[in-house]
Structure 1
Amino acid sequence: MTEVLFYQLTSQPLDRALPALLEKCLERKWKVVVQAVAPERVSALDDALWTYSDESFLPHAADADGKDETIWLTTTDLNPNAAEVRIMVDGATPPDLSAYARALVMFDGSDPDALDATRAQWKTLKAAGHAVTYWRQADDGRWKREA
């Protein structure tokens, strides 16, 4: 089964926390699909990944770009770059995760609706036999395993 990590954002917004996790994936030579629920979020993440650091580059593309990249931004459940890692943001519904070594669910810890939706995803994915863990963001932006 797929390892599923739940990341609760508490001290940084998604556009600041996501690039660091993507860099870790690239260090491991993993391809990644980032799934959002709205095209506007995909566009905002696309912009954020281009501008987050002057010293680093994250090779990425979105559905509208139509080219294969190491990081793919989408609103679909497809895996166009044969990624090993899938990241769901903003409450995106996980597709069949059997093709992935790892999946991440990133959610806003200050949003009660996001917390409720994430709890439901946790229960569903755990019941499906996936190995699930919960990580909370510390004040310095680092992640601490809580469960």
Structure 2
Amino acid sequence: MAELWFYHLENASVDEALPELLTKLRERNGRALVCSQEETRLEHLDSHLWTFREDSFLPHGRASAPQAEDQPILLADTPDNVNTANMLFCLDGADPGDVSAWDRVVVMFEASDETSLARARALWAAQKKSDIAISYWRQNEMGRWERKA
């Protein structure tokens, strides 16, 4: 059964939170599709996921590159599941489409991004009427994620 998780970033940026979540997913041999319609975000993440830590990196590729289907983490501008991922991460207000097609969809939005916040609220309201399991997560002062709804 699909789950829809909303991650409200108040104490961290996408650059800080996303690599940690992807690392945990990869430790469980999960696969991810990271979706943003902002090309600058995708370009930045393409570099950042290789260098976010000195002692490790996250293997990934771009959906527009050859052998995209082989990538454990794929960066794309649409939620097409080219790499048979079990998790979809939506950034910058990206529309996940059919949420039921995934094990889990994570909608990440920074508190300072009013557009993404408004899109997340609209998606929450629309999905609340469905049979999808929905939860809302916020970071506490210690940086740990707490389920709030």
CA distance in structure 2 between the aligned counterparts of 1:123 and 1:66, rounded to whole angstroms: 38
CA distance in structure 1 between the aligned counterparts of 2:118 and 2:27, rounded to whole angstroms: 33
Structure 2: runs of 5+ lacking an equivalent: none
Q: What do you get for the CA RMSD once the two structures are aligned?
A: 1.3
Deviations 1:104-146 (A, max 9, x none): 0000113333222211011112222210000002233321111
User: With structure 1 as the length reference, what TM-score do the two structures score?
Assistant: 0.93
User: With structure 2 as the length reference, what TM-score do the two structures score?
Assistant: 0.92
Matched, 1:17 2:17: yes
The aligned counterpart of 2:37 is 37
Number of equivalenced pairs: 147
Deviations 1:14-67 (A, max 9, x none): 011100000111122111000001222111111110110111221100123222
The aligned counterpart of 1:142 is 144
The aligned counterpart of 1:94 is 96
Which of 90, 111, 114 lines up with 1:112 in the alignment? 114
Preserved CA contact (<8 Å) 1:31 1:71: yes
The aligned counterpart of 1:124 is 126
SS class of match (2:64): helix
> Structure 1 vs Structure 2: percent identity of aligned residues?
41
Deviates more, 1:74-83 or 1:64-73: 64-73
Preserved CA contact (<8 Å) 2:32 2:85: yes
SS class of match (2:123): helix
The aligned counterpart of 1:72 is 74
SS class of match (1:140): coil
Structure 1: runs of 5+ lacking an equivalent: none
The aligned counterpart of 2:5 is 5
Structure 1 stretches of at least 4 aligned residues deviating more than 3 Å after TM superposition: none
